[in-house]
Amino acid sequence: MTIFAIANQKGGVGKTTTAVSLAGLAAERGGRQLLVDLDPQGSLTSYLRCDPERSEGGAYGQFCAAAEGKPADVAGAIVSTAAGLDLLPAHPALATLERRFGTRPGMGRVLAGLLAAVRDDYAHVWIDCPPTLGLLMINALAVCEQLVIPVQTEFLALKGLERMLASLAMVERSRGAPVPHRIVPTLFDRRTRASLDALDALHFQHRSRMTAEPIPVDTRFRAASEAGVPLSQLEPASRGAYGYRCLLADLLGEPSPPAPVRAEEALPA
Ligand code: ADP
Ligand code: MG
């Protein structure tokens, strides 16, 4: 089992989309995939047609049990979704964990303990983080083997990246080891100066950490979220699905797959 965390302290940069897309594509290759929703907003949970308000026993209940020294039952708290992906759902009360348990010793390793119980059940785990540095994100950064940092290709998002990297450096000091991480430019629109400039700036500052292909803006992501499935299930040959195919290959240490020939591009001009 390999554990990936998807994190950035900025909202709306494509974290949840990245988590669903990567899990969907990894599932196509075979092997069970577990998505963990640590965002109290529960976007990933809602995306997969699960109601966060009714998911008290999910990530929230498991954290509480572990924090209070009661037996946790992660396997029992995981739901299988219509998209074929397993989910440990979020509940809004996740936002209260910090206040209730934030100062207890060992709280940064709760998720590590929970995931150890399902280690043999999954090929990959994808943790969708909240956009704040707190107990939940710390748990994800402490347990992940690879961190994926989606960064929207616009000027303000680059500032957010610096903040995220500073938080990562802090966690690395307490882990006593570096956390391998990849910076993924998202919502890239090659027709706009802002996107091109932001991509240039990212390459200039973080070349060795960058993935080869930015994730393009693709309106079909919205249709996929409305359908409650990863884009690759809805539109396998879409630009967006290809972007995430390249990202998954990158994370697994493989070369980028060949680009699909899309019908509209194959037509004579
Ligand atoms: P985050 O989890 O970082 O808050 P989301 O993944 O929820 O971000 O994405 C924010 C919004 O942008 C969603 O409506 C999502 O459908 C849309 N979105 C994400 N990535 C893309 C993309 N590559 N192209 C078009 N829309 C996207
Ligand atoms: Mg999100």
pLDDT beyond 70 at 244: yes
Say how far apart CA 22 and CA 43 lie, in whole Å. 16
Q: Confirm or reject: Cβ of 11 under 6 Å from ligand 1.
A: yes
Residue pair 148/4 in contact (Cβ under 8 Å)? The answer is: yes
Name the closest ligand to CA 18.
Answer: 1
* Phi, psi of 16, rounded to the nearest 5 degrees: -65, -40
pLDDT beyond 60 at 269: no
Closest ligand 1 atom to Cα of 187: 23
Mean pLDDT of the chain: 95
Say how far apart CA 251 and CA 203 lie, in whole Å. 18
Residue pair 125/2 in contact (Cβ under 8 Å)? The answer is: yes
Q: State pLDDT tens for residues 87-124.
A: 999 999 999 999 999 889 899 999 999 999 999 999 99
Q: 121 C-alpha to center of ligand 2: Å?
A: 25
pLDDT beyond 80 at 29: yes
pLDDT beyond 90 at 260: no
* Cα torsion 65, 175, 87, 31: sign: negative
Q: 114 C-alpha to center of ligand 1: Å?
A: 28
Instruction: Among 37, 221, 244, say which to mutate for ligand 1: greatest number of ligand atoms within 8 Å of CB.
Output: 221
Where residue 156 falls among pLDDT bands split at 50, 70, 90? confident
Residue pair 177/168 in contact (Cβ under 8 Å)? The answer is: no
Q: State pLDDT tens for residues 135-153.
A: 999 999 999 999 999 999 9
Taking CA atoms only, the protein residue closest to ligand 1 atom 5 is: 14
Say how many C-beta atoms besides its own lie within 10 A of residue 171's C-beta: 18
Say how many C-beta atoms besides its own lie within 10 A of residue 89's C-beta: 27
Where residue 262 falls among pLDDT bands split at 50, 70, 90? low
Q: Is 148 helix (H, G, I), strand (E, B) or coil?
A: strand
Percentage of residues in the chain having pLDDT higher than 70: 97
Say how far apart CA 24 and CA 230 lie, in whole Å. 6
Q: State pLDDT tens for residues 35-54.
A: 999 999 999 999 999 999 99
**Predicted TM-score (pTM) of this structure:** 0.96
pLDDT at 265: 57
- Name the CA radius of gyration of the chain, rounded: 18
Taking CA atoms only, the protein residue closest to ligand 1 atom 20 is: 14
- What per-residue string of b and e applies to 223-260 under the rule 16 or more CB within 10 Å gives b? ebbeebbbbbbbbeebbbbbbbbbbbbbbeeeeeeeee
Where residue 263 falls among pLDDT bands split at 50, 70, 90? low
Better-predicted residue by pLDDT, 20 or 104:
20
Q: Which two tokens stand for residue 129?
A: 């983080």
* Phi, psi of 79, rounded to the nearest 5 degrees: -110, 145
Taking CA atoms only, the protein residue closest to ligand 1 atom 7 is: 16
Say how far apart CA 97 and CA 103 lie, in whole Å. 10
Which among 30, 33, 81 is positioned nearest to 227, based on CA atoms? 81
Q: Confirm or reject: Cβ of 225 under 6 Å from ligand 1.
A: yes
pLDDT at 43: 98
Q: 175 C-alpha to center of ligand 2: Å?
A: 25
Residue pair 129/95 in contact (Cβ under 8 Å)? The answer is: no
CB neighbour list of residue 82: distance below 8 Å, 6 or more residues apart: 48, 49, 228, 229
Q: Which two tokens stand for residue 134?
A: 């707190």
Amino acid at 190: R
Strand locations in the chain (E): 2-6, 33-37, 79-80, 86-88, 124-128, 146-152, 181-186
pLDDT beyond 60 at 267: no
